[in-house]
């Protein structure tokens, strides 16, 4: 039996609905930790999505091309400077009055935290599926990514590598007594990791936002308000959305079709 209510959009309008869903999704945040070569790294990251063009394929595939992800990182690296530790040994000079000795002086360098702010963007193209569910009294039609595509983060990784080097240099300048050792320290630390390590850190962070990416294109309460209350004698008019389904139908053009029984 046909549904009571049928609402359909073509690919152009579906792209418009996607834009609204992206805005509704807002900014996502994640925190975590990883490693950058021998260095420990923790991060807080945020990301948002925009753009993209929709191509509909029956029975329920929504391909989105050129979806942009804008992300920013607050990367905190833990740099152990103990490899710079050194001591000035005691030196004694003989005099007729006895030896005069300098004290032994040791310099212990701390573990410092280096914060690296970074922001960039990437684009992705992927197939999404349709998921309809009733949760906590609300009907949802979600567009859910089917698999995480490979993200081209090469250029961003190069920039992040440079940003990390700059941040480490700046942080080391503030370390007492490091002056003569600064260039050595920077060289040793930045040599400890390379572009592959940065890519290995950045990739999972960005991919975490893409994994399970879900845009909600429809959300309405099952107890649906048709008309608001108009006091004193007109209560709100409600209907129950008994069943909701969504699919992609192909005729002379492909359409995303929402079917509802009331």
Partner 1 sequence: MSLTGTHHAFASIDERGVNRALQAFFGARPHYLHYGSVPFVTSDSTTETLVQTIAFPGVPGGIAYAIDLTIPTTDLYPPDGALPPPLVLGPDQLSLTTEATITIGCTAGQSADGKRGQVMPVSTSLDVIAIGHPVSVYFSPGVGYVRFQLDQVLVENVAPPSLQAVLDCLLEMILSAVLSSVELPFNIIDVDFFKLILEAGPTIADNQIEIWGDVS
Nearer to partner 1 (CB atom), residue 133 or residue 253: 253
Of 202 and 217, CB closest to partner 1: 217
- Closer residue to partner 1 (CB): 92 or 262: 262
Q: How far is CA 247 from CA 55, 58, 100, 238, in A?
A: 13, 7, 91, 26
Instruction: Provide the terminal-to-terminal Cα distance of the chain, rounded to the nearest Å.
Output: 13
Examine residue 214 and tell whether it contacts partner 1 (CB under 8 A).
no
Dihedral (Cα; 207, 74, 42, 120), 10-degree rounding: 30
Q: Which stretch binds partner 1 (CB under 8 A): 98-106, 128-136, 142-150, 248-256?
A: 248-256
Could you say which residues in the range 14-43 bind partner 1, by CB under 8 A? 16-17
Minimum distance of partner 1 from residue 10's CB (angstroms)? 5
Which pair of tokens denotes residue 116?
């690296």
Could you give the residue ranges of the DSSP H alpha helices within the chain?
11-25, 154-173, 182-191, 195-210
224 touches partner 1 by CB under 8 A: yes
What residues numbered 82-141 form the site for partner 1, per CB under 8 A? none
Smaller CB separation from partner 1, 4 or 146: 4
The span from the CA of 133 to the CA of 262, in Å, is: 16
Out of 82, 95, 147, 251, point to the residue binding partner 1 (CB under 8 A).
Answer: 251
Under rule CB under 8 A, residue 243 binds partner 1: no
Which spans of this chain sit near partner 1 (rule: CB under 8 A)? 2-10, 12-13, 16-17, 218, 220, 224, 226-227, 233-239, 241, 249, 251-253, 255, 257-258, 260, 262
């Amino acid at each position: 039996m046909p549904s009571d209510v049928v609402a359909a959009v073509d690919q152009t309008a579906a792209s418009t609905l996607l834009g609204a869903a992206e805005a509704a999704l807002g900014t996502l945040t994640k925190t975590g930790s990883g490693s950058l070569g021998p260095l420990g790294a923790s991060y807080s990251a945020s990301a948002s999505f925009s753009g993209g063009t929709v191509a509909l394929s029956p029975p329920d595939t929504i391909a989105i091309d050129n979806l942009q992800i804008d992300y920013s990182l607050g990367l905190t690296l833990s740099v152990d400077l103990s490899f710079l530790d050194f001591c000035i040994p005691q030196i004694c000079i003989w005099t007729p009055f006895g030896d005069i000795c300098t004290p032994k002086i040791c310099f212990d360098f701390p573990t410092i935290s280096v914060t690296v702010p970074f922001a960039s963007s990437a684009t992705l193209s992927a197939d999404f599926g349709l998921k309809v569910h009733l949760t906590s009294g609300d009907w949802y039609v979600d567009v859910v990514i089917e698999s995480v595509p490979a993200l081209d983060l090469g250029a961003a990784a190069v920039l992040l590598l440079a940003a990390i080097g700059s941040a480490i240099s700046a942080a080391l300048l503030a370390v007492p007594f490091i002056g003569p050792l600064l260039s050595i320290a920077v060289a040793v630390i930045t040599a400890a990791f390379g572009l592959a390590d940065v890519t290995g850190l950045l990739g999972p962070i960005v991919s975490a936002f893409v994994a399970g990416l879900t845009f909600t294109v429809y959300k309405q309460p099952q107890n649906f308000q048709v008309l608001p209350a108009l006091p004193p004698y007109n209560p709100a008019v409600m209907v129950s959305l008994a069943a909701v389904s969504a699919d992609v139908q192909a005729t002379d053009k492909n359409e995303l079709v929402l079917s509802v029984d009331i």
